[in-house]
Structure 1
Amino acid sequence: MRAGRPLAVAFWTFAGLAALAAAWQWGAVAFGPFVLPTLPETGRAMVALVASGKAGPALLATILHALGGCVAGGVVGLVVGIAGGLALPVGAMSRPVFTALLGTPPIAWVVLSLLWFGPGGMAAGVTVAVTAAPIVFLAALQGVRSRDAALMEMARLYRAPPLQRLTDLVLPTLADFLVPAIATALAFSFKVAVMAEVLSGADGVGGGIATARSHFDLPETMAWIVLAVAVLLVADGLLLAPLRGWRAAREGRALPVAAGG
């Protein structure tokens, strides 16, 4: 049963992508080239972008904006979230602040970043950081607060070192909340980075989309979008697959213990 699971996941993943491609092609035929280009047109535009040397530097710039901002905002959100979960005053003060940040539209941060830093990559990175920080913060806060109070009390009674309490009691529970939150923050980071690049005139995929839009080149616009999504999927697989694997392995080890208890 478990041996065939990876094959089944791969099959249904391919089926989902095939259905999306079929819907895309149907939309192109039904609504015409001024609404949606066909798959072959988009494919030729992608090949042209790669062959011309435009795709590589643009994708690298977007990756730096997205991952740099996501890491910066994620670290801040993680540290403050853990501190807020462990110390009530920190959590009570920081939660409304991060909730307000989460509720502020990213477009507002793009405009503010443009006023503060001017056009360029800094605006994209700052916007991504402010978007990612509250997502990770709320997950970290909830994860720490969901720790087993009885086990924490036992650790205190037996005078377990603070570092051991963190690694053995807090972090395993925290991972259940953090892995989905980091995946969400990563996806938002690429979307927000591209949007900020479009509006700020920065280098990257957003700059390519802005140029293609000014030329009314819909196939090239869609080609840039597909390239950005492909990079996001690769980044998700490389960065988050190990975390998901560790989490699944930890849950697998816990099941026999729970069954035996």
Structure 2
Amino acid sequence: MPSQDPPYLRIADHLRRRVTAGEWAVGERLPSRARLAESYGVGPNVLQRAQEVLIGEGLLEGRTGSGTYVREPVDRLPMLRSRTAGAFPAALVPNGSWECDSYGRTPAPAHVARRLRIELGALTMHTRYEFTADGLVVQLADSWEPMDLTENTPAQLPEYGPHHGRGVTARMDSIGVRVVRAVERLRPARASAEQAALLPGVSAGDPVTLLERTYLDDTGRPVETADLVIPDSRWEICYELPVEVPE
């Protein structure tokens, strides 16, 4: 019986078998998209979708202006999301750390204003993070906090001053704001040229996961929102959820 899978999935499966069989060596460029599409009797868009499946699996990598190559195998590490998880599971990675820059009084763009429930253009503290492991950037994040919440307090600068490195919950608690929950939304995205320039081994257009996280206090007010850019080829996002045990 013929396969019921869409053509791009059938082609992805066939390409996967060809790559794993060693038809192309690690680091070798595949034939052009047009040539492969012709050999499979499909259009370039179908072939592109097939290659994107394998790029998402970490088997191939696209290089802007150059083509598609067999990627050096990289183990995907689990990124555990739980009530105690921070932005980056540094304990899972040797020599994990981060660098950041904060920009005070930054007008909130539309998506930030919506998530923080503030007026468009209201002032925020915008902090950009680069998370590193063994000296290489492996994850990016942008965080925004309403300036009217933290301005002129010891918690104003997220990673400087007396509360350096303590995280959003502890910093907010220091000024009497009790953070009680976080809302996270995952959506697939493609690495921008700027993101690809910062993430080694990631090309513009490669699959990434955008994790939108917002912290809320005990009144339901959003006190911080962040976009975490997580390369699919490096991380497998896992959630640890509490289970209510019957007494």
Q: What is the TM-score normalised by the length of structure 1?
A: 0.27
More strand by share: 2
Q: What is the TM-score normalised by the length of structure 2?
A: 0.28
